[in-house]
Structures are given as structure tokens and as C-alpha cells.
Structure 1
């Protein structure tokens, strides 16, 4: 892996840590979950042959610090952070954007509010449960996650959360532990340190987000919705599928599951490159 150019960007209420590789038009990678920009380590070099690839830790994750650690997190604010990154690194041209999981939700909001700054967006498994016909059931599941977190602590709550993401949505008999992909082992300590913030601040805000379907319909030629080939039936796959159906767009299938950037990096990068240029 080539050494990136490292920078920090001051935004309202936070300082974002970012890294840039390559040359060409800007491709902004917005991570989701608790892993931060390191989740893209396996794909950035392949993409940097064609793009100026920028990735960053979302506010409150890893090296991107909050002024107020207890501040409520909002999708619109995270989308504005992405906008500030685009304005910094590509001030005169619209950017290509890839968002994964909760990062895809921030990217979708950015597209609906600042469409002139995005040439093309690939959104991989955004968990927009409000787009599902059984959204009320998932609201109850998310409330149970937060109640478990409050009364029993982090790992029992993560077990409930992980179980609810699985195929069939079995939230009555959760797995006793959360297993990270093997490729994430090197950054597991940082990921674990991010989990309380992710579960307590990001999950309730982002997974209650309602996308502007009518606005997205007018922008569907710039939006590619993607899911994992191996995650059929899991909650984030279902939300991507439902959103694509509501927008009348074709859903693209990327290698791996929800964490395909980590488990199948070379194949994932190739699919992403094609999706960005098609």
C-alpha cells in the first residue's frame, strides 16, 4: 500500500482526519460502522490508479475527534462533513462518492441536498429501515438494542444488534458475541473502542433516517444502489433492495457481504470502478 497524504479538516463541532492517494478526479469514500477509513485499506490502491481517492474517519470515529463527545449525531451533519471534504479536495468539479452502510446513508442525504456536487454515488447496503414495508418491526428491534445497551452494556447490546441484522432477523435468540472479519483483526482494538459511540450515537440516528424518495427519483441516473452477493436476506441487503425497487433502478451485486471491502478487496474495487464509470 502506498503512503497517503494525511490531513485534518476543521468542521462544525469536530476535526476530521482524512487521507488522500492517487491522481485524477476525486473519489470520496465514506465509511460506515465502527471501523473508520481503515475499512477501505484493501481497495484504495487499486482505485488510486484512476482517481484521487480520499477517505476519512467520520466525526467521533477513530482519529476524527468531537468537540463535545456527548453531542447528538445527525445524518445531515455527517453529510455536511462529506460536503466539506468535497469542497476542500475538488472545489471546482463534482466528485464521485462511495458510501458503505451508515456512510451510504450520509452520502444519500448529501446527494439529495447538494446534488450539484456529486457526479455519481454508489451506495452499498445503506440500512434505511424506514424504506421497508415492515419498518415498524425494525423500529422495535432498534429500541430493544438501545434498551439492552442501557441496562446490560455494550456486548449484550451488540449481540442483539448483530442478530437483528442477520437473515431472518432473529432477535429473540442473539448470538453471544460479535465476530469481526479476519482481515479486520489488526484494527480490532480501535474498532472496539469506537463501538459504544457507534451503537449509542450513530445507530439510533442513522437507522431512523427517512430518505427523500421523490428527490432520489429525480436523481436516480446518478445513484447506484449496491448490495453484497453473500448477504441476501440480511437487513442491510433488504433495505438496499427495497430502496432500488421503490426507485425503479437496477440493484448491483458486489462481491462478499456487508463488509465486502474487507473480505474481497480486489474484486470489490473492480466492481466499484465499473459502477462509477457506467
Structure 2
């Protein structure tokens, strides 16, 4: 595999930055997709596929990718069309896709809209509230995170977000009625006045609340694999994967580690990247 080459792509409302690592084999390109996590989060995982051409990118409004429309919130449909444009730029598909968290949500929508773009999609822990048994309470909890962010700023919003993603099991009514103190998570309570955070401002509500066309996913020519981490407990992202697998009528595929099992030190987090990469290779090979 070569060193990554950075390219840019102009799409409606944004200029995307993406990286291409040329592989030595003749398999289709492999896209590694997150949201709002950008390309930097997949550096370790990409190294486990030296024979594949690996493509990573920064979603619009994240790191090197610029939003030109002036809009703050980004919809899942926009991300899906951005992915479609990246697929076209690297040869037109079909490609294989590994999408994690919000990236899994966006990649599922790519399959809905452009099913012939993707040969195999591994959707790892899509934090999708609509497929949960407690969907109304989960949606309310996510809305509450956004409210806290808008009212009190980044530190308070992140504390509320951490409380949601770390919660085990169904959400009770009134979750986050009394939001946690940011200091409990080592974060400042000061409000800098900005409200365009890639996670809290741009993507969280759109991603967690998106309703996929499940019928379209069931009949798509794409092989859809829904995956979850063996160490993710009963957190929302794990339950989202379970709910999506159940709705699509596929068996849940278990991966090593937790929600960040593929990380190898990126953002100060280390999962089980070697075991994760091996499992992903096995799944992609069918």
C-alpha cells in the first residue's frame, strides 16, 4: 500500500477532502467511513489492508472538508450523496464500505439511494434511535443533548452526550432532565458562543433520528452486514446495531472491542485494531 494521496472534490454545498492509499491487489476499493469522525481516525485500520486500495474522507464540515452552503446542520441524505460522489471519483463502484457510528448511518443511506455503488457494506454500530424498542425515549434523550448544547455551550453539551452514549439499556422518560456537570468529565463549563460543533451542532440529531427505507435496504443488491462490538454492552450504538439487524432480517455480526474497537491510538483511544482488522477482512471475504 502506498502513502495516502489527498484529493479534493467539489459537491453541492461543500468541498470534500479524501485520501487514497493505492493497494497491490485487484479487489474493489474499500471505503472506511465515519461521521463526524474524519479520515484520521482510520489510519491504523487502513494499514491492515495493504492489498486493497483504501479510501478515507472527511465528512462535510469536518477537519479538511469545507461547507460552502452556510448551513450548520448536515442531513444524512447530504452525506450519502457525498459518498456517492467519492465513489464516482475513485472509479464508480461497486466498492466495499466499512462505516462506523454515524458513518454507518450515512453508508446505509448510500445503499438506499445508490445500491449499485456498494458490493458489501459493513455497518458497525449505527446509533439509530428509530430502530430501538424505546425509540421515543431515545429520540428525546438526543434532543435533550442538543438543547443543552444550545443553552450552555460545548462543555455542557459534550457532558450530556457522554451520558447518553454511555447509558446502558433502554432510556427512561425524562433522561437528562438534570444534565451532568461538565467538570465530572474534566471539561470546562465556559461557553465560547459557537454552535457549529461537527458532532453536537452539525450531525447528531440528523444522524440519530434518521429513518432509513428498510424495504429498499432489504431488496438492494448490496450485501449488508450489521456489526456490533462484543464489549459494547447495552449502549445505544450496540442496541442500534441489534435493532437494525432485526429490522433487516440479518444476523448480527460481532466484532472485537467496543464502539472504537478499530482505533489504534487515534484521538487518544486504543481498541483492538489487529483483531478488528482480521475480523473485517474475514467478513469482507464472505
1:267 aligned to 239, 263, 275, which one? 275
Cα deviation code 1:62-104 (max 9, x no counterpart): 000111343431111100110111111023x411111110011
Measure the CA separation in 2 of the matches of 1:233 and 1:102: 18
| 140 and 249 in structure 1: CA distance in 2 versus 1, 3 angstrom threshold | same
More deviation, 223-232/69-78: 69-78
Secondary structure of the 1:116 match is: helix
Q: Which runs of 5+ in 1 are unaligned?
A: 180-192
The match for 1:15 is 15
In 1, are the aligned partners of 2:14 and 2:60 still within 8 Å (CA)? Answer: yes
The match for 2:201 is 200
Measure the CA separation in 1 of the matches of 2:85 and 2:126: 21
Cα deviation, residue 221, structure 1: 6.2
The match for 2:267 is none
In 1, are the aligned partners of 2:122 and 2:226 still within 8 Å (CA)? Answer: yes
Cα deviation, residue 195, structure 1: 7.8
| 275 and 62 in structure 1: CA distance in 2 versus 1, 3 angstrom threshold | same
Correspondence 1:214 to 2:222: no
Secondary structure of the 1:79 match is: helix
Secondary structure of the 1:224 match is: strand
Aligned length: 263
Correspondence 1:145 to 2:145: yes
| 95 and 175 in structure 1: CA distance in 2 versus 1, 3 angstrom threshold | farther
| TM-score, normalised relative to structure 2 | 0.85
Measure the CA separation in 2 of the matches of 1:232 and 1:196: 28
Cα deviation, residue 269, structure 1: 1.1
Q: Return the structure number with greater helix share.
A: 1
Cα deviation, residue 215, structure 1: 1.5
| 161 and 117 in structure 1: CA distance in 2 versus 1, 3 angstrom threshold | same
The match for 1:230 is 231
Correspondence 1:122 to 2:130: no
CA RMSD of aligned residues (A): 2.3
1:41-120 equivalences under 5 Å are 41-47=43-49, 49-91=50-92, 93-120=93-120
Secondary structure of the 2:210 match is: coil
| 255 and 206 in structure 1: CA distance in 2 versus 1, 3 angstrom threshold | same
| TM-score, normalised relative to structure 1 | 0.88
Measure the CA separation in 1 of the matches of 2:42 and 2:76: 21
In 1, are the aligned partners of 2:118 and 2:222 still within 8 Å (CA)? Answer: no
Q: Which runs of 5+ in 2 are unaligned?
A: 187-193, 264-270
Cα deviation code 1:127-158 (max 9, x no counterpart): 11101121100121112111111111111111
Secondary structure of the 2:197 match is: helix
Q: Which runs of at least 4 in structure 1 moved beyond 6 Å after TM superposition?
A: none
In 2, are the aligned partners of 1:128 and 1:207 still within 8 Å (CA)? Answer: yes
In 2, are the aligned partners of 1:128 and 1:211 still within 8 Å (CA)? Answer: no
